[in-house]
Structure 1
Amino acid sequence: MLARPPAPAAWSRPLLWLLLAAAAAASSPAEPRSRSCSEVKKLYVAKGFSQSEAPSHEINGDHLKVCPQGYTCCSQEMEEKYSQQSKQDFRNAVVELSNNLQATFSSRYKKFDEFFRELLENAEKSLNDMFVRTYGLLYMQNSEMFKDLFVELKRYYTGSSVNLEEMLNDFWARLLERMFRLVNPQYHFSDEYLECVSKYTEQLKPFGDVPRKLKLQVTRAFVAARTFAQGLAVARDVVGKVSVVTPSPQGVQALLKMMYCPYCQGLVAVKPCYNYCFNVMRGCLANQGELDTEWNNFIGEWLLFVRFI
């Protein structure tokens, strides 16, 4: 009789046989895993949580409600604590970024406000010194008019409801009345007469073209300064208000899945990709996202105005 041929080596067996063997092995009960969770436990304790809540080795994860079940490094207490922690981490991240942006707007506002107020004070002092040297006692006896002018300019800059054009027109009218009396001391003019003179200031032009030019320059400078300062202040306040965020229950679950569920699987060094993180954050900031268009319009128009001036 012919000798029976030896059984073929495993590598020489038909592919179908190998696939069936692999399927059979996969369908057979797996041995319970006992992988170490020491790194997960160490990080959990570093968060300030109790080490007694963290298993040293993988356990069955049927108790998990959000994170993947199966063998896990997370107890039920850990998942609950991680859920709270993910919400706090999210709030801290939003507040940190918002604080930086708020600080930028606040710093710019403070610097500009100090700069512009200093300009006003220097302008008032220079004008006062020049008029004292030029007109002496005559100016000093009537200097309250110029002080009142700068008071009104400061009030406008700080946001008071001052009509610049009317205020400047009133200043020149009062100045005309005062000078009319001073250059005609031998006459006594009634208030009605002086009021009539003021009404015809445009036609008489006692100060030449100075009032028109000054009104144009002052109006442009103060409108620009107030708009710029208010833009910085509004931006600062808006950032402060929208930074107060409380994620929804669905948002908290999404944050937990992204930030800490990998820990339960022992993947402590894995970070979420940009798109995944972006989508989760967009969901948690859905209400703030509705302001995105208006915010961009506000910043765009404000910057355009600043460049224009």
Structure 2
Amino acid sequence: EFFRELLENAERSLNDMFVRTYGMLYMQNSEVFQDLFTELKRYYTGGNVNLEEMLNDFWARLLERMFQLINPQYHFTEDYLECVSKYTDQLKPFGDVPRKLKVQVTRAFIAARTFVQGLTVGREVANRLLHFSKKNRCIRALMKMLYCPYCRGLPTVKPCNNYCLNVMKGCLANQADLDTEWNLFIGKKSLNISGRKYKANDNIERTEIPRLDFMKIKAAGEHGIKLSLLQPKKGNVIFYFWKDKI
């Protein structure tokens, strides 16, 4: 629940910030970001999601939307917009943000999902051990250990430590084989909790969703990117991207 809450807080914070900053411009295109967080949640809960492909698709969709917003005087076909998105890697209209975000998100979510899945397995194993079936021989040994003092009129006498251990070892002989592996499991989980297993950059709590400033990108002020359209004589609209010299 902790990781899920972090995700929901990140989504809510980003949504509130973009609504305040861009109003209807963002609200009309907010499903791009909603789908991003939906897929992240689906991956976290064990869904079959390829993080790298999902993030690539997010940036491609975002570029298509922004391209239309920046050039409202034109009407673009689906084929044309798909062509635009194909050049995302070469032209880098968002600068280095997609690469950095991909590294941060991938590390954080792989660590988080692995950790949570490990806890789930541990809980299931613990529950099964708590409900193990007791053999008749074990039941007789337990009855003898617990109730023989009562039959002899000595209700205050407790079984000695060694006797108790021998009886319990006999009852839990099969489960005892799990002792080594269980201790290793607990040890690894403790390392994960203390933060020694993963680097600080892998912490999902520190993974930030960068602020994508529509207007700054439009004005070529954040990444030095300009988007332009030319209308050739044949009537086919083509597009150009270039970086300003710094």
- Taking structure 1 as the reference length, what is the TM-score of the superposition? 0.57
In 2: Cα distance, 1:140 partner to 1:264 partner: 78
Supply the distance in 2 between the matched residues of 1:302 and 1:163 (Cα, whole angstroms).
25
| Counterpart Cα distance in 2 of 1:181 and 1:237 | 50
Structure 1 residue 256 corresponds to structure 2 residue 143: yes
Mapped pair 1:219 → 2:109: no
Give the aligned length.
Answer: 196
Determine which structure has more spread, i.e. the larger CA radius of gyration.
1
Q: Corresponding residue for 1:13?
A: none
Determine the structure 1 residue equivalent to 2:189. Answer: 302
Q: What residue number does 2:89 align with?
A: 202
Deviations 1:250-278 (A, max 9, x none): 22232233222233344433222222211
Q: 1:297 is aligned with what amino acid?
A: L
List per-residue Cα deviations over 1:198-232 (Å, max 9, x = no partner): 23322211100111111222223323333333333
Residue 9 (structure 2) aligns with: 122
Q: Provide structure 1 residue ranges, at least 5 long, that are not aligned to the other structure.
A: 1-112
Higher-RCO chain (CA-CA 8 Å, sequence separation at least 6): 1
Runs of 5+ consecutive residues of structure 2 not aligned to the other structure: 199-246
Q: Secondary structure at the match of 1:272?
A: coil
* 1:105 paired residue number: none
Percent of paired sites with the same residue: 72
TM-score, with length taken from structure 2 = 0.70
2:103 maps to 1:232: no
Provide the residue aligned with 1:270 in structure 2. 157
State the alpha-carbon separation in 1 of the partners of residues 136 and 31 from structure 2. 64
The range that moved more, 262-271 or 125-134, is 262-271
SS of alignment partner, residue 35 of structure 2: helix
Which residue identity does 2:100 align to in structure 1?
K
Q: Which runs of 4+ in 1 moved over 6 A?
A: none
Give 1:62-211 correspondences, 5 Å limit: 113=1, 115-211=2-98
Structure 2 CA distance for aligned equivalents of residues 256 and 133 of structure 1: 70
What's 2:203 paired with? none
Aligned counterparts of 1:163 and 1:274: Cα–Cα separation in 2: 54
